[in-house]
């Protein structure tokens, strides 16, 4: 597969999706989804959060686009660029260990084509996916980071990749069909920048592009330390120094999004600050 950069047009999505319960899973009721933002506001249900996110959606996404275009998390090296500190290599080792566990757990899991969603500079592709998969498509909303990833990966690795410049909330069923069935979709530290409605739509669309026995891996931050583990924490552009929108969701909140997308949790690994989920279609 040759290295290529594809640009996509921008479009809107704002319609909430119905909830679908995966087999053998406990239904997460919307009224159990609660949390706070950095302005001190409390949200008593999932509906309250969705309403707020819908009102401010374009503002949040515009500010986030500027944040990443201006350098994002910073970091002194490309390995640190998307995390802002020196933990990029260790995170890659952790991700590879999770993937190897998944491969051992699911011997029928194919290892041909993987998608790195919200790929940034391509760290997960380099440190995890290309070590186990033949081809990787890197999907990144910021054109600068998408171009930078080809340099970071180097010519040999990049020759096994396709580079797609596209906003995650713009991905359509037609896109995933054009991409071809994926054996693995890896989404890391990305859903936190999407509204709940867009996160569900994105997950559902990508799930439709999984091949037989395909898996969707989601790694996201979770509340930890002194934070309540049963409450989401939402940052807004006017309330934090990063001037971006970002939401940290607890386990039950993530599982509700997965249920709404019609996905089943095959397994989950709880890290010090993160949860990593392996998801499958019903």
Structural domain total, the chain: 1
CA distance 152 to 77: 10
Percent of the chain past pLDDT 70, that is, above it, reads 87
User: What's the whole-number mean pLDDT along residues 227-245?
Assistant: 92
Alpha carbon separation from 141 to 49, 101, 108, 170 (Å, rounded): 24, 30, 32, 10
Is the model's pLDDT at 145 over the cut of 60? yes
According to DSSP, the residues that pair with 276 across neighbouring strands are 219, 269
Q: Against a cut of 0.75, is the pTM above it?
A: yes
Would you give the DSSP letter of residue 76? S
Would you give the DSSP letter of residue 256? H
E strand residue ranges, the chain: 5-7, 35-37, 42-43, 113-117, 135-140, 161-165, 182-188, 210-221, 232-235, 246-248, 263-270, 274-281
User: What's the whole-number mean pLDDT along residues 107-118?
Assistant: 96
Alpha carbon separation from 89 to 127, 129, 144, 161, 276 (Å, rounded): 8, 14, 22, 21, 17
Containing structural domain, residue 43: 5-281
The domain that contains 138 carries what CATH number? 3.40.50.150
């Amino acid at each position: 597969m040759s290295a290529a950069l594809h640009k996509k047009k921008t479009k809107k999505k704002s319609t909430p999706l119905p909830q679908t319960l995966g087999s053998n899973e406990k239904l997460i009721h919307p009224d159990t989804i609660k949390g706070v933002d950095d302005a001190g506001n409390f949200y008593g249900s999932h509906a309250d959060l969705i309403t707020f996110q819908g009102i401010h959606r374009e503002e949040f996404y515009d500010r986030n686009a500027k944040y990443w275009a201006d350098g994002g998390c910073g970091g002194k090296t490309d390995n640190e660029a998307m995390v802002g500190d020196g933990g990029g290599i260790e995170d890659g080792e952790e991700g590879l260990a999770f993937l190897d566990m998944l491969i051992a757990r699911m011997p029928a899991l194919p290892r041909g084509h993987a998608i790195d969603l919200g790929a940034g500079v391509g760290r997960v592709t380099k440190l995890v996916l290309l070590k186990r998969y033949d081809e990787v498509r890197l999907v990144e909303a910021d054109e600068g980071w998408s171009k930078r990833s080809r340099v970071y990966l180097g010519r040999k690795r990049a020759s096994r990749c396709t580079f797609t410049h596209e906003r995650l909330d713009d991905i359509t069923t037609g896109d995933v069909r054009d991409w071809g069935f994926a054996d693995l979709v890896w989404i890391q530290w990305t859903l936190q920048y999407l509204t709940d409605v867009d996160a569900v739509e994105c997950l559902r669309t990508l799930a439709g592009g999984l091949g037989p026995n395909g898996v969707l891996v989601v790694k996201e931050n979770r509340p930890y330390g002194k934070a309540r583990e049963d409450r989401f924490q939402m940052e807004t552009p006017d309330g934090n120094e990063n001037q971006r929108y970002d939401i940290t969701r607890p386990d039950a909140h993530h599982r509700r999004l997965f249920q709404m997308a019609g996905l089943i949790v095959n397994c989950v690994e709880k890290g010090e600050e993160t949860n990593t989920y392996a998801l499958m279609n019903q």
